[in-house]
Amino acid sequence: MAKYESPRKVVVTGIGVVTALGQTLDTFWASLLAGRSGISPIKGFDVTDFPCKIGGEIHDFDPTKFGMDPKEARRNDRYTQFGFAAAKLAMQDSGLDPKTVDRERAGVIIGSGIGGMATFEAQARTIIEKGPRKVSPFFIPAMISNMASGIVAIEFNFAGPCFTVVSACATSTHALGEAMRTIQYGDADVMVAGGAEASCTPLSFAGFCSMKAMSTANDAPEKASRPFDANRDGFVMGEGGCVFILESEEYARARGARIYCELAGYAATADAFHITQPDPEARGLATAMRRAMADAGVAPEQVNYINAHGTSTPYNDKFETIAIKKTFGEAAKAVAVSSTKSMTGHLLGAAGAVEAAVCVMAIKTGEIPPTINYETPDPECDLDYVPNVKRTAKVDVAMSNNLGFGGQNASIVFKRI
């Protein structure tokens, strides 16, 4: 494999998005800029006994519309279907013909925070009610978190690095960063990277509800997710997938690709503090942001936009604000910060890739989506959160942050090219 004295530039050439706000990039982006909420009452299961009854659920998804064989669709979990659909959309957006790529120089890293939860729940019921002989032979392949990567690699015939990343809600930011490194240091020319999650299931809801982590503002679903607002009461679950096509700049230019921007910086750190609560001093995230900017070769005052993790939970939003202040100093007051989870809900392992797509589109279009439902300022969250209405502004550098249970942090930086 080729090795390079200095890392190669990595560029974004394709993006595919499947969320409750739309199943194309254009629809998704238009919904964000309009400040439209994708949160609605859950329809996929009976929520009568659940404290939280709402989510960013995709109601009209059909994997066969994205080219998945009906038989394969039945054999794969919903999260894999989301990953497959997003990957097909991203490849189409990139204009890259997979058949023209050296299969050993192309790979896949699609992460999932919890993998095939619906499959797990269904087969657990089967063994209890009908016994072990009735458990599906597709149970394990459908459940495991690396299957989205595997199915996409098979679809595109990509035989390079292929694995998954699992780091809770930081998963797909790590996936993008690791894919970037794979290209930078010569192990691939093309990487398909992102995340997929299908966690709007009874057991997922029960687990998060028992932690009292989810919003119970069921009477007004569209207003339930309110990052950085003083009255935030928990996150709202979302589902879907987002996948990028990343290429070395030289490879993309040689084929005449349309380039969105450069994926220029990445860093990963740990809080080493608590299994669920972020470090109150925000040391891990602040370090990740500093390192990502250094990796990208940019100073704090050059960053125009931060897509925050912004979960709408009391601790996360407060501590992320602290991290941004620690990292940016005086520049913290000048940078636009928004949380699009206010509209999509929290896609767990897929959140980072979806929010990375927002950064790329902000650079491309000169539009910054708002944080909706920001009504009552919190004195401890006192940055510019782009409240309620989109903003027109030139964005040359954008950053996306994500945090995961276990104290895992990831930050990535995109630059205009």
Please give the structure tokens belonging to residue 218: 């069921």
Number of Cβ atoms within 10 Å of the Cβ of 219:
9
Q: What is the CATH number of domain 10-254?
A: 3.40.47.10
Helices (H) and strands (E) in the chain, counts: 13, 14
Q: How far apart are CA 388 and CA 371, in angstroms?
A: 5
**What are the percentages of helix, strand and coil residues in the chain, rounded to 5?**
40, 20, 40
User: What does the pLDDT look like over 135-184, one tens digit per residue?
Assistant: 999 999 999 999 999 999 999 999 999 999 999 999 999 999 999 999 99
Q: Which fold has domain 265-415?
A: Peroxisomal Thiolase; Chain A, domain 1 (3.40.47)
Residue labelled with tokens 């794979």 = 182
The residue ranges of the chain whose pLDDT is under 70 are: 1-6
User: What does the pLDDT look like over 91-108, one tens digit per residue?
Assistant: 999 999 999 999 999 999
User: What does the pLDDT look like over 190-207, one tens digit per residue?
Assistant: 999 999 999 999 999 999
Percent of the chain with pLDDT over 70: 99
Domains 10-254 and 265-415 share a fold: yes
Annotated catalytic sites, by residue? 169, 309, 346
Number of Cβ atoms within 10 Å of the Cβ of 123:
19
Mean pLDDT of the chain: 97
Which residue type, as a one-letter code, is found at position 131? G
The full DSSP string for 203-249 is HHHHHHHHTT-B---TTSGGGT--TTBTT---B-BB-EEEEEEEEEH
Q: Residue 7 has what pLDDT?
A: 84
User: What does the pLDDT look like over 273-305, one tens digit per residue?
Assistant: 999 999 999 999 999 999 999 999 999 999 999
What are the residue ranges spanned by the domains of the chain? 10-254, 265-415
